[in-house]
Copies of this chain bind each other. A is one copy, B any other.
Amino acid sequence: MAEISDLNSATALLGWDQQTYMPPGGVIARGNQIGTLSSLAHSKFVSQDVGVLLEDLKPYAESLDPDSDDFCLIEVTSRDYDKQKKVPSDFVAEFSRVTVVAHSAWEEARKNDDFSHFQPHLEKIVEMRRQYADFFAPYEHVYDPLLDDFEPGMKTAEVQEIFSELRPKQVELIKAIGEKPEVDDSFLHQSFEDQKQWDFGEQAITKYGYDWDRGRQDKATHPFTTNFGVGDVRITTRVDPNFLNTALFGTLHEAGHAIYEQGVSPDLERTPLGGGASLAIHESQSRMYENLLGRAYDFWVYFYPKLQEIFSTQLGNVDLDTFYKGINKVAPSLIRVEADEATYNLHIMLRLELEIALMEGKLMVADLPAAWNERMDDYLGVVPSNDAEGVLQDVHWSSGVLGYFPTYSLGNLVSNQLWEKINLDIPSLSSQIQGGDFSELLAWLHENVHRHGSKFKPQELVTRIVGSRIAPEPYLKYLNEKFGSIYQL
């Protein structure tokens, strides 16, 4: 497991480098290198030796405390092993080839706003995702095995139930907001010097507790967080010289991911437990640091005077209230990654519903663009004028990734469930934040979330902490209170 972890870390570094510093000439060789290392790690993991060792460990595991590292290690490794063993190597290789071609076709299709160019590739991908699901038959729902890759143990039915409660209420909120006067955020769209934006972001996440001895920040076109052990967790960001939000909230978001990985117990290093519990739990941390802190009034009580000092020309005459409302402006839009807090989940639900319909065979790929536009109109009241800013906007499907989108929304929900509990446990949190002190919050997250790595399944972890499973109420309450106040609903 340690060797496999080392191979995965090396692969992660190859990826980090590709997105930060690699010269263009390196791309073909880099593909080969990542391919070789991934395939070595995979074949080492599914080897018969590992199966025998795990079998030998089962009697030992029975004697262990189910909360112990050893028990979880055997449990999680066995689960991954059983899962990966079910997928033939030939299929993995073939799917990899299909998605490489599909990704190029998608880039071309998006550039030319021509869905038909991508369509046959996506048809192949959907067909192969169904084959993939069938390796895990019987299942409750054909989408379950896909979801399970990102949220271990989570079922489609659960997600659907959560989202069906969420959707009408979010749609209602957005309609109510739409009837109110628009919030002014023009001051965010000015010229802001790159380096100053960069420095302010670093100053903020230093306060958050991001450990620079075990990390660094670099520039990347598509920001991400990656790590090579708990001692080296790196973030990336993108700076828009004419829009303050891009780097600012990007950095706060990635810092949430990174602080999580920096907080995983070193005892779990070089094991399958040495990383975040799931994508949703990860997103709960990044969303908390981006939104529940970074878009909160308390946060800016402390940071706004500093920001104003740095950008005195641009923000000197913008008061805290105006700034706070500006960074929380709600406006239905076409592009998911640019969506605000109130509309974001609707972008996700739309995608989830379409993915499920594709997997169930109830929707043909050919009909996808029309279905997309129809739902955009229903949920957000806006319709893309072309497929490039509609169904072709995200990279996920072209990479063969289905089952991933819902984790973004689940993360939003979890962040608010945790937030309610945190505020009960730390009654003075609000004033701590106003004083720029995030240390008690970090200690809480470390104790309750970070240190466990992936010892527990996401639903188990949430239940351990808040006493119930993932649920939409805290998030809805938060949205209604926050935007009710901003928009005087």
Contact = CB atoms under 8 A, between A and B. Distances in A.
A337 interface: no
Given A6-B32, A216-B21, A228 B37 contact: no
A10 B33 contact: yes
A213 B24 contact: yes
B26 A212 contact: no
B232 A23 contact: yes
A23 B270 contact: no
9 contacts: A3-B36, A6-B35, A10-B10, A10-B13, A23-B215, A23-B216, A25-B213, A25-B215, A26-B231
Q: How many copies does the complex hold?
A: 2
A22 B3 CA distance: 20
A36 to B, nearest CB: 4
Interface string A203-238: 000000001111110100000000011111010000
Given A13-B13, A23-B212, A25-B213, A32 B232 contact: no
A36 B6 contact: yes
Given A10-B10, A10-B37, A270 B32 contact: yes
Contacts of A11: 10
A6 B33 contact: yes
Contact of A232 (B10, B29, B215, B230): B29
A29 B211 contact: no
A10 to B, nearest CB: 5
Contacts of A33: 6, 9-10, 13, 228
Interface in A88-103: none
Contacts of A216: 21, 23
Contacts of A228: 26, 29-30, 33
Contacts of A37: 6-7, 10
A228 B28 CA distance: 11
Interface residues of chain A: helix, strand, loop or mixed (majority): helix
B270 A25 contact: no
Contacts of A215: 23, 25
Interface of A: 2-3, 6-7, 9-11, 13-14, 17, 21-30, 32-33, 35-37, 40, 211-216, 218, 228-232, 234, 269-270
A403 to B, nearest CB: 29
Nearest to A31: B6
B270 A28 contact: no
B26 A214 contact: yes
A26 B28 CA distance: 27
Contacts of A21: 21, 216, 218
A40 B212 contact: no
Instruction: Report which residue of A6, A27, A216 has the largest number of chain B beta carbons within 10 angstroms of its beta carbon.
Output: A6
Given A6-B33, A33-B9, A228-B30, A25 B211 contact: yes
Instruction: Report which residue of A21, A24, A214 has the largest number of chain B beta carbons within 10 angstroms of its beta carbon.
Output: A21
Contacts of A213: 23-25
A231 B28 contact: yes
Contacts of A26: 214, 228-229, 231-232
A216 B25 CA distance: 11
A235 to B, nearest CB: 12
Nearest to A24: B213
A214 B37 CA distance: 22
Given A23-B231, A29-B232, 6 more contacts: A23-B216, A24-B214, A25-B211, A30-B228, A32-B270, A33-B228
Given A3-B36, A36-B3, A40-B40, A231 B27 contact: yes
A232 B7 contact: no
A237 to B, nearest CB: 15
B269 A29 contact: yes
Nearest to A9: B33
Contacts of A23: 212-216, 231-232, 234
